[in-house]
């Protein structure tokens, strides 16, 4: 599925599938929608891509979707000792949320320190208060945890 920007027909197909899955009222839970989209991708691209499916739905809604990422899977398994079947988005999401609750306070504390790092970042059009307010949103805090898992999951393979 890489390189879809170079293939307008493929990008259009993916968008059409995303819109169809989002509108399907028979799919009531996030894992049903992610799995359905991944199944469609498997039929078209011969790859059951939970990562792409979850990312597209997360970009559409943020909550309650959790981004499925192989490096995050590695972190949850190797660093935190969780066991779940590969390709099981529901189990992955459950484990991800359990770990998120453990780290949530630390993430919130770190986010409150964002303005102190201003001198190390590009110019930002937001005031410190606007930055803190936006960074306290659930989607942002969860994305910080995603990046944390991604980093940990990358270190275990080296």
Provide the percentage of residues in the chain whose pLDDT is more than 70: 92
Does 81 have pLDDT greater than 80? yes
pLDDT in tens, 118-127: 677 777 777 7
- Look at 130 and 108; give whichever has higher pLDDT: 108
Distance CA 136, CA 150 (A): 20
**Tally of CB atoms within 10 A around 57:** 21
* Structural domain boundaries in the chain: 4-61, 71-155
Structure confidence at residue 2 as a pLDDT band (50, 70, 90): low
**DSSP character string of 50-114:** HHHHHHHHHHHH-TT-----HHHHHIIIIIT-----TT-HHHHHHHHHHHHHHHHHHHHHHHHTG
The pTM score is 0.85
């Amino acid at each position: 599925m890489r390189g879809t920007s170079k293939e307008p027909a493929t990008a259009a197909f993916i968008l059409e599938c995303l819109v169809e899955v989002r509108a399907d009222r028979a799919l009531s839970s996030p894992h049903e929608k992610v799995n359905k989209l991944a199944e469609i991708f498997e039929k078209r691209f011969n790859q059951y891509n939970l990562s792409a499916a979850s990312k597209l739905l997360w970009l559409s809604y943020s909550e309650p979707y959790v981004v499925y990422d192989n490096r995050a899977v590695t972190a949850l398994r190797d660093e935190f000792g969780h066991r779940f079947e590969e390709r099981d988005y529901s189990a992955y999401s459950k484990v991800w949320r359990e770990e998120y609750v453990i780290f949530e306070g630390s993430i919130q504390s770190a986010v409150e320190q964002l303005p102190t790092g201003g001198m190390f970042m590009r110019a930002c059009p937001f005031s410190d208060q606007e930055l803190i307010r936006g960074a306290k949103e659930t989607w942002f805090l969860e994305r910080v945890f995603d990046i944390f898992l991604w980093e940990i999951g990358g270190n275990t393979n080296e």
